[in-house]
């Protein structure tokens, strides 16, 4: 029997580049602590949190023996998002399809149209659920072109008041909110003339040195059904703004692989394509104030 070809170091490299370019929340996945995670068994990670006491007045008349004035606590979290996908590919489909249905094309389309959107949707919904579970409350102000900057300023103010660093903040918004920002009278926009000299590029890339990233509205929801694919849950609310710093979120990746088995008698002369990834998203309790959300409040039952 022919040995399965593991493309984790070949095709995987190309996939990683695609993920980096296409994942909307990539900037929030880059917490340096991801590389410092301590694994416990097969599916659990353990994260340390260090705390110390404050300073006190010095006693110049005596010597006091040093005491332990720090503490280390541990937060244990279990990974649950374990996903895979496979398909068989008849060699004749590749041959008769004028090479359109090649293994790499099939895998590439699946990654772009399903895997990447699914990972984004899991990221935002899981981050929101964990943040909410830590006794945080989302802003539910109805946003318009007149108040969009006021809502943004309020989220920024709350973070600054919680001692969250101003550097490294990223604002994720829906296309509808982007239109409101472009229309807001107080937004300073840079108009750049393209090489042809006949068109203007009007855009909002930053607000108060905060990077602005536009995300499709169906990828900014509070809840999804992941039984097969990623579908918006019936009781999901729309996330309009997501402001955050990557230090508040961990995104451990336990396993990621793409494998291709060549035709054999066992596969009835078909190629077999298989991909799997195993990861999760966790909000650090002591950094939760580094996240903020504005959502469209769900209507009350009977309303």
Q: What is the pLDDT of residues 112-164, one digit of tens each?
A: 889 999 999 999 999 999 999 999 999 999 999 999 999 999 999 999 999 99
9-46: string of b/e by CB count within 10 Å (b at 16+)? eebbeebeeebeeebbbbbbbebebeeebeeeeeeebe
Q: For 264-299, write each residue's pLDDT tens digit.
A: 898 899 988 888 989 999 999 889 999 999 999 775
Instruction: Mean pLDDT check: name the lowest of 33-37, 103-107, 299-303.
Output: 299-303
The pLDDT, as a whole number, for residue 138 is 97
Mean pLDDT calculated for residue range 27-55: 79
pLDDT digits (tens, 9 = 90+) for 184-207: 855 554 444 444 455 555 556 778
Q: What is the pLDDT of residue 193?
A: 47
pTM of the entire structure?
A: 0.81
All structural domains of the chain, each given as residue ranges with its CATH number in brackets, are 5-49+76-296 (3.90.1690)
Query: What per-residue confidence (pLDDT) applies to 55?
Result: 86
Q: What is the mean pLDDT of the chain?
A: 83
Q: Are 139 and 292 in contact (CB under 8 A)?
A: yes
């Amino acid at each position: 029997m022919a040995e399965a070809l593991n493309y984790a170091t070949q095709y995987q490299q190309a996939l990683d580049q695609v993920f980096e370019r296409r994942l909307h929340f990539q900037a929030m996945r880059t917490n340096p602590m991801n590389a410092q995670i301590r694994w416990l068994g097969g599916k659990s990670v353990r994260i340390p949190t260090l705390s110390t006491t404050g300073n006190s007045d010095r006693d110049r008349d005596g010597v006091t023996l040093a005491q332990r004035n720090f503490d280390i606590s541990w937060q244990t979290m279990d990974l649950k998002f374990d996903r895979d996908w496979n398909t068989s590919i008849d060699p004749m489909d590749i041959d008769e399809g004028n090479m359109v249905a090649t293994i790499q094309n099939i895998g590439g389309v699946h990654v772009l149209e399903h895997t990447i959107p699914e990972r984004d949707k899991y990221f935002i919904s899981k981050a929101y659920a964990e943040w909410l579970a830590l006794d945080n409350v989302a802003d539910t102000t109805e946003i318009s072109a007149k108040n969009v900057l006021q809502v943004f300023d309020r989220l920024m103010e709350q973070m600054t008041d919680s001692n969250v660093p101003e550097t490294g903040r990223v604002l994720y918004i829906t296309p509808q909110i982007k239109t409101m920002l472009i229309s807001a009278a107080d937004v300073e926009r840079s108009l750049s003339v393209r090489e042809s000299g006949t068109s203007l590029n009007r855009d909002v890339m930053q607000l108060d040195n905060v990077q602005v990233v536009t995300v499709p509205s169906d990828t900014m929801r509070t809840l999804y059904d992941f039984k097969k694919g990623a579908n918006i849950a019936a009781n999901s609310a729309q996330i309009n703004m997501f402001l955050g710093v990557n230090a508040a979120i961990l995104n451990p990746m336990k396993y990621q692989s793409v494998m291709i088995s060549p035709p054999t008698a066992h596969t009835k002369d078909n190629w077999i394509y298989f991909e799997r990834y195993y990861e999760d998203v966790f909000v650090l309790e002591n950094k939760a104030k580094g996240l903020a959300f504005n959502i469209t409040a769900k209507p009350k039952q009977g309303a």
